[in-house]
Amino acid sequence: MKTPKFLLPVATAGILALTLSACGGGGGGGTTAGGGDAEAGLDGRGPITYVQGKDNNSVVRPMIAKWNAAHPNEKVTFKEQTDKADQQHDDLVQHFQAKDPNYDVVSVDVVWTAEFAAKGWLQPLKDKVAIDTSAMLKPTVDAATYKGTLYATPKESDGGMLYYRKDLVPTPPKTWDEMMQMCSIAKENKIGCFSGQYKQYEGLTVNASEAINSAGGSVLDKDGKPSLNTPEAKAGLENLVKAFSDGNIPKEAITYQEEESRRAFQTGNLLFLRNWPYAHSLMSSEGSSKVKDKFAVAPLPGKDGPGASSLGGHSAGISVYSKYKATAVDFIKYIASEENQKFYAIQGSLAPVLSKLYDDAALVKKLPYLPVLKTSISNAVPRPVTPFYPAVTQAIQTNSYSALKGEKSVDQALSDMQKSIESAGAGS
Amino acid sequence: MATELGPTPVKAPASGGTPVHHAPKGVGEDNKILSQGRWASWLLAPTIIALAVVIVYPIISAIVMSFQKDAGLDPATGLFTAGGSAGLQNYVNWIAQQCAAPAGGTVACPPGTLGGQFWSATATTFIFTVITVTLETVMGFWMAMIMARTFKGRSLVRAAVLVPWAIPTAVTAQLWLFIFDFQGIANKIFNASILWTGSEWPARWAVIIADTWKTTPFMALLILAGLQIIPAEVYEAAKVDGASAWQRFRMITLPLVKPALMVAILFRTLDALRMFDLPYILTGGANNTTTLSILVINQVRQGFNAAAALSTITFFIIFLVAFIFVRFLGANVVEQSGASAKGKK
Amino acid sequence: MTAATTELRAQQDRGRKAAQNREKWAQARTYISALVILIWCLAPAYWMVVVAFREVGFTYDTSFFPTHVTLDNFITAFDTSFGNRFGQALLNSVFIGVVVTAVSLLIGVFAAYALARLNFKFKFLVLGFILGASMFPGVALITPLFQLFTNIGWMGTYQALIIPNISFVLPLTVYTMTSFFREMPWELEESARVDGCTQGQAFRKVIMPLAAPAIFTTAILAFISSWNEFLIASQLSSDATQPVTVAIANFAGAQPQQIPYTAIMAAGTIVTIPLVIVVLVFQRKIVAGLTAGAVK
């Protein structure tokens, strides 16, 4: 029998593929437990890399330059990721799965902490490498904690605030019901009343959780089990659904992300807006802004008093695969230090994690919304802290979106959410 | 023909009748075929190796992983533990839309889980594919016919046609998101207040319009290249024979351009079935615009092994479509579909 | 040439005169169609350019004509002080695109020649294999590729971007060229061989010029798809090797939530217009040159 010679290359390729496949060895699943060795490299010192998403506020390079000047033997290199949270997340996951020792210190979004910790990718910050968090705002520390262990140090925070037209509304509403009553003012002026961000994306999870938390409910209970079958949760989601159906939230808000909602407010088409602090400087400075001197901020309205904002922001964690953990620990302490937090706030308008800075006169002069933001963050509830966050946020987004559009009753939406989250946790 | 190589089919039957061997003149001798086979193996080797390393290796490793369970949480430690072998469970879960139940076992996936979206994502993917590929084929053909004519400013048109396709998809998607904004230019031009990304069909049309705009040039260029190979003499002769424009199109253009057209349609279809960036950026998959690829990437974030199973299922769906194309619609480049038309010349 | 042909010619002339009006009308229709194509293709691109020249603060202005015109967005795009590497990324994209196009055309031509001209077994299987490579969802290839390139130390290198791109464009390259080669008048090659050319010479001197437009089209398709690739590059490139699509994704607003539409549109403009010009120039020079040498 003759050998089909032309098939040789094919066969070679096939064998090559199989060999490579064996080398890759299923590690691609990234599901192996335990991650790296948390005890290794604890005393290691040397040059490290700091990984963070796009440095919009231009603070990271100067911060690192200062560190490098003081630590010539433990220089930090900045690896800048893209501007998109999803891509940052996926990039980190790929590098952790590949056990990359070059991603030493990573910036962790508050909602990723539990997932990374449970995968065993983040160095627990305890015992030898414990970090003092007593001066920090408690919600920011909670968001960096998983199962009672701190896995990252908070470095910048964020919370939702209520922007309102001070030329039309003399005193801001304290509760949701008050705000809804003030919608008559919006009608008189022929503008929309209130909006947050209701497009089906992460921002909807933020807004829906805020509504549920502000009404006294919660998405997950203390054990991480869903608790959406409560009257409080129902009341919270119903507030949004009702506002949509009676027009207090304009119908186009179903397509809003942060920027669309800011634009609606900034062009004078909204009386109230839920947004992050970033909008403040843009709305008071942009050329096209029609509300430059006409708006002010207040804490989000709740059931009887200030509402519960969803917490934003990032923490700095150390990869378990890092070889120079001693340097890394010093570096994250430096990021969270008072000196640097002040620099972050002044230079980059980033919300500090240290409580006392919110009362610093110089800072308040620069960022007039700080006192309001302090209330917001102090009352903030971290978005659900769960290693199954991607599934949980999916469940919240999809079902609350259907409810807001009136395709599903509030009860049905909450019960579907509850079941979806239960199912995510059950996957084993 | 050398026949000692076992039962593997040497050639599938051609679409339109008996298999045509486009053999070099005077074939038949065994050693000629063999030497051609050796030649072919060397000529094909680089292509096959390149594909094997970058495509086949990942596919094999994904298939291997698709038979593993995703990591589960150990309630005692709060850490993930490796899932172990899953058998066909990942596949069954997708196709039957079953999700893990809190009490153990599986239940029908509640709305809001990815598992519950498999069939709707499949339907969405096919809707997008059928509509966009049809529109792109018709418009691309028309554009190519125009560009094949001689007129002043033809090179301007050819340049213009390249523009949509040359803009990187990442920019295109942002551009259309911007155009379809509630207060954007689309609503202004049509004096409408459509919530483009806010409900099912407007969102789908937004994706379809953006995709058609972007990829019609691909079709047009491929078809144009096919048109250019047709010798002008053929048309002249037909004109002389008094063939009408429609007859010339049906009897000459269509059959002669068919190979190029079929390749264009085939590859557009394969691409459209894997559509990802445009709907992902425009709608985030809301309002029934989640395609299979979007479902895959969402699942990658929740567990890679189940995502690998979904990718494999998608692979088979696409394979089936391609098979039907090649087998029944004559998108077979090695069979000489233009042969009969050429023979008349 | 026979008497019949002369007769035909005369008929043709008469027909031409009679159809002159029709021709005019056909010409007018061509121009109208061309105009429609221009508007369809260019209107959204026009909007991109208009936005590219707008001040950031007026991003959402909907006047049809340029207002609040500024060059700031272009300056921002090339500004390297905040870690943007747009200029470098442009060069990277050109380099990657050229290598991918050249290599995939070269090995694609080999493969297509074999598939179109040679008679061998398992042809159908080989075709199926090549096509099968473009059936797996691209998003699912990233993780295994990442593992593979990490294991062999290729992360962030040019070859880690070039080789996957070659594989992505190869199936299309091979298929289009095979289909074009099938339609070539191979009799010419045969006669050239009778005239004493080797098979290689015959292919180069006779077939290549004829196939030039088709090969050129394939080259454009290959170059642009490599130029457009984002998913793989976003995960496998480093700061030094990132292509332009990744660089654009790295653009960011002055504030965290802000989408820098004006800068993205400026980048889109910078990336697109030279590309189209280059393609045009190449089309004129190269294709014309090649076709001129063709044996007609």
Which segments within A169-304 are labelled E, that is strand?
192-195, 270-275, 295-298
Pick A15 or A197 by higher pLDDT.
Answer: A197
Query: What's the mean per-residue pLDDT of chain A?
Result: 89
Of A58, A82, A257, the CB nearest to C250: A82
Residue C15 and residue C142 in one domain: no
User: Residue C20 is part of which domain span?
Assistant: 2-52
Pick B17 or A329 by higher pLDDT.
Answer: A329
pLDDT at A128: 84
Strands A270-275 and A192-195, how do they pair? parallel
Angle at C261 between CA C259 and CA C265, to 5 degrees: 145
pLDDT at C287: 56
Residue A373 has pLDDT above 60, yes or no: yes
Structure tokens at B317: 């769906």
pLDDT digit string (tens) for A180-193? 999 999 999 999 99
Judge whether C63 lies within some domain. no
| Contact between C231 and B281 (Cβ < 8 Å) | no
Residue B224 has pLDDT above 70, yes or no: yes
Query: CA-CA-CA-CA torsion for B305, A123, A156, A66, nearest 10 degrees?
Result: -120
Cα separation, C138 vs C151, in Å, equals: 20
Cα separation, A410 vs A416, in Å, equals: 10
Structure tokens at B182: 């509630």
- Which residues in chain C touch residue A84, judged by CB atoms under 8 angstroms apart? 249
Cα separation, B57 vs B206, in Å, equals: 36
Instruction: Give the model's confidence band at A276: pLDDT under 50 very low, under 70 low, under 90 confident, else very high.
Output: very high
Cα separation, A25 vs A341, in Å, equals: 44
Residue A69 has pLDDT above 90, yes or no: yes
Instruction: Give the model's confidence band at A427: pLDDT under 50 very low, under 70 low, under 90 confident, else very high.
Output: low
- Which residues in chain B touch residue C51, judged by CB atoms under 8 angstroms apart? 178
pLDDT at A116: 96
- Which residues in chain C touch residue B296, judged by CB atoms under 8 angstroms apart? 137, 139-140
Size of interface A-C (CB pairs under 8 A): 99
In Å, the largest CA–CA distance within chain B is 87
**DSSP letter at C206?**
I
pLDDT at A277: 93
Query: What's the mean per-residue pLDDT of chain B?
Result: 83
pLDDT digit string (tens) for C188-218? 878 888 888 887 788 788 877 878 878 888 8
Is the dihedral angle over the CA atoms C64, B164, B198, B130 positive or is it negative? positive
Question: Rounded mean pLDDT of B228-245?
Answer: 82
Instruction: Give the best residue of B20, B33, B36, B51 to mutate against chain C (max C CB count within 10 A).
Output: B51
Residue for token digits 């308040």? A364
pLDDT at A394: 94
Residue C13 and residue C130 in one domain: no
Residue C185 and residue C45 in one domain: no
Each residue of C62-79: b (16+ CB within 10 Å) or e? eeeeeebebebbbebbee
**What count of other Cβ atoms lies within 10 Å of the Cβ of residue A133?**
19
Cα separation, A24 vs C292, in Å, equals: 52
pLDDT at C208: 79
Q: Is A11 on the interface with C (CB under 8 A)?
A: no
pLDDT at B129: 97
pLDDT digit string (tens) for C81-94? 666 788 899 999 99
Judge whether C203 lies within some domain. yes
User: What CATH number does residue C207 fall under?
Assistant: 1.10.3720.10
For the sheet with A192-195, list strands across it.
A192-195, A270-275, A161-165, A295-298
- Please, which residues have CB within 8 angstroms of residue B261's CB and are 6 or more apart in sequence? B137, B141, B222, B223, B226
Query: What's the mean per-residue pLDDT of chain C?
Result: 84
- Please, which residues have CB within 8 angstroms of residue A39's CB and are 6 or more apart in sequence? none
pLDDT digit string (tens) for B149-175? 888 888 888 888 989 998 988 899 999
Provide the chain A residues 288-347 that lie in CB contact (below 8 A) with chain B. Answer: none
Number of independent structural domains in chain C = 2
Least confident span in A123-127, A180-184, B195-199: B195-199
- Which residues in chain C touch residue A280, judged by CB atoms under 8 angstroms apart? none
What's the half-sphere exposure (Cβ side, CA atoms, 13 Å) at A270? 29
Cα separation, B210 vs B188, in Å, equals: 18
- Which residues in chain A touch residue C239, judged by CB atoms under 8 angstroms apart? 79-80
Polymer length in residues for chain A:
428
Strands A149-150 and A295-298, how do they pair? unpaired
- Smallest CA–CA distance from A24 into chain B, residue: B61
Question: Rounded mean pLDDT of C121-133?
Answer: 87
Q: Per the CB < 8 Å rule, is A87 touching C234?
A: yes
pLDDT at B30: 54
Residue C186 and residue C262 in one domain: yes
pLDDT digit string (tens) for A207-260? 999 999 999 999 998 888 899 999 999 999 999 999 999 999 999 999 999 999
Instruction: Give the model's confidence band at C18: pLDDT under 50 very low, under 70 low, under 90 confident, else very high.
Output: low
pLDDT at A335: 97
Residue C149 and residue C282 in one domain: yes
Instruction: Give the model's confidence band at A35: pLDDT under 50 very low, under 70 low, under 90 confident, else very high.
Output: low
Cα separation, B220 vs B231, in Å, equals: 19
- Please, which residues have CB within 8 angstroms of residue C291's CB and are 6 or more apart in sequence? C209, C212, C213
Domain definitions of chain B by residue range:
72-110, 123-291+329-343
Residue C53 has pLDDT above 90, yes or no: yes
Residue C246 and residue C130 in one domain: yes
pLDDT at C290: 52
pLDDT at A18: 43
Judge whether C61 lies within some domain. no
Question: Rounded mean pLDDT of A387-405?
Answer: 94
Cα separation, A182 vs A192, in Å, equals: 11
Residue C25 and residue C146 in one domain: no
Residue C198 and residue C248 in one domain: yes
Judge whether C19 lies within some domain. yes
Residue C141 and residue C216 in one domain: yes
pLDDT digit string (tens) for C216-240? 888 988 998 898 898 888 888 888 8
Instruction: Give the model's confidence band at C10: pLDDT under 50 very low, under 70 low, under 90 confident, else very high.
Output: confident
Residue of B226, B321, B331 whose CA lies nearest to B271:
B321
Residue C43 and residue C114 in one domain: no
Residues of C contacting chain A (CB within 8 angstroms): 55-58, 60-61, 68, 82-83, 120-122, 126, 129, 142-144, 146-148, 150-151, 234-235, 239, 246, 249-259
Polymer length in residues for chain B:
345
pLDDT at C276: 84
Cα separation, A320 vs A44, in Å, equals: 12
Instruction: Give the model's confidence band at C289: pLDDT under 50 very low, under 70 low, under 90 confident, else very high.
Output: low
Least confident span in A140-154, A350-364, B79-93: B79-93
pLDDT digit string (tens) for B8-46? 333 333 333 333 344 444 444 455 555 778 888 899 999
In terms of average pLDDT, the best of B4-8, B21-25, B107-111 is: B107-111
The SS3 of residue B187 is helix
Instruction: Give the best residue of A145, A227, A394 to mutate against chain B (max B CB count within 10 A).
Output: A394
Residue A391 has pLDDT above 70, yes or no: yes
Q: Is B40 on the interface with C (CB under 8 A)?
A: yes
pLDDT at B102: 81
Residue C212 and residue C270 in one domain: yes
pLDDT at C195: 83
pLDDT at C38: 95
Question: Rounded mean pLDDT of C174-186?
Answer: 84
Judge whether C296 lies within some domain. no
ipTM of the complex: 0.85
Residue C215 and residue C254 in one domain: yes
Strands A145-146 and B72-74, how do they pair? unpaired
Instruction: Give the model's confidence band at A15: pLDDT under 50 very low, under 70 low, under 90 confident, else very high.
Output: very low
Least confident span in A195-199, C246-250, C291-295: C291-295
Residue C16 has pLDDT above 80, yes or no: no
Residue C140 has pLDDT above 90, yes or no: no
pLDDT at A211: 96
Question: Rounded mean pLDDT of B333-345?
Answer: 42
CATH class of B123-291+329-343: mainly alpha
Instruction: Give the best residue of B172, B188, B270, B333 to mutate against chain C (max C CB count within 10 A).
Output: B333
Report pTM: 0.87
pLDDT digit string (tens) for B129-141? 999 999 999 999 9
Question: Rounded mean pLDDT of C98-127?
Answer: 90
